[in-house]
Copies of this chain bind each other. A is one copy, B any other.
C-alpha cells in the first residue's frame, strides 16, 4: 500500500517508519519539499521511503495519516488539498494541545474536537480518529506496556474503521483491544483524555503507559 504521512515530528517519523517496516511505500509530507528531518528519515528508512510537501504526500497516499500537531493539522490538511484526501481513509492521530505557562490547554474541546472539525472541513475524506491516546512508541509497540491495554477509534465510515483496525493489528494491537466509540463526534472522548495523560506522564517520568478498560457483568445486585 501507498501511505502519505503528514508530519515530521516523533509521531510522523515513528508511524512512517513502522509502515515502511511493514512493507508499505511512504511519502512523508511537510511544509517544505526539503525538510531536514524528513530527508534524514528517508536516508535511514531506505528505498520505500520518500519525502515531499503535504500535497505530495497526500497525493501519493492511498491512505493518509495525519501526524501533524493538533494546532497545525487543519492548515496542513488544507495545504495537502481536499482533492488529495477525497474518498481516502484519513487516520487522524493528533491532539489539539498547546501549552500556556507550562500548563496544557486543549482547543477545540468539550462539544467539539479536532477530529470532528477535520471531518467537517473535508467531508469527502473518510476520517478515523485513532492512536491519539498513547505515546508514539507505544503506538507501534504495544508490548512496551504490560497487560491487555486498549485503543479507541471512531469515525463515520465503517469500512474506513475496519481498515484502520486491520492496520492497528499489523502494529501489534489485536482487534479485541480496539474499542469503536462510534461516529467521529466521539473524538472529543479521547482528545479530552490529554490532561490526565499528561499529568500521568509527568508523575511516572515516562510515556510507557496506557489505559485498560476493566469491565464487570453489570448485574443488578
Residues of A bordering B, CB below 8 Å: 103, 105-107, 109-111, 138, 144-147, 149, 152, 179, 181-182, 186, 188-190, 192-193, 195-196, 199-200, 203-219
* Chain B residues within an 8 Å CB radius of A186: 195, 199
Greatest chain B CB density within 10 A among A152, A181, A215 is at A215
One complex includes copies of this chain to the number of 2
Q: Given known contacts A192-B193, A216-B145, is B199 in contact with A181 (CB within 8 Å)?
A: yes
Contact of A145 with B215 in the complex, beta carbons under 8 Å: yes
* Chain A residues touching B, majority SS: mixed
Measured CB to CB, the closest approach of chain B to A163, in angstroms, equals: 21
Contact of A146 with B216 in the complex, beta carbons under 8 Å: yes
Q: 25 pairs across A/B with beta carbons < 8 Å?
A: A105-B110, A105-B111, A107-B110, A109-B110, A138-B216, A146-B214, A147-B214, A149-B212, A179-B200, A181-B196, A181-B203, A182-B203, A186-B195, A186-B199, A190-B196, A192-B193, A193-B193, A193-B196, A204-B218, A207-B218, A208-B216, A209-B213, A211-B212, A212-B212, A212-B214
Which residue of chain B has its CB nearest to the CB of A148? B214
Q: Given known contacts A146-B216, A218-B204, is B190 in contact with A192 (CB within 8 Å)?
A: no
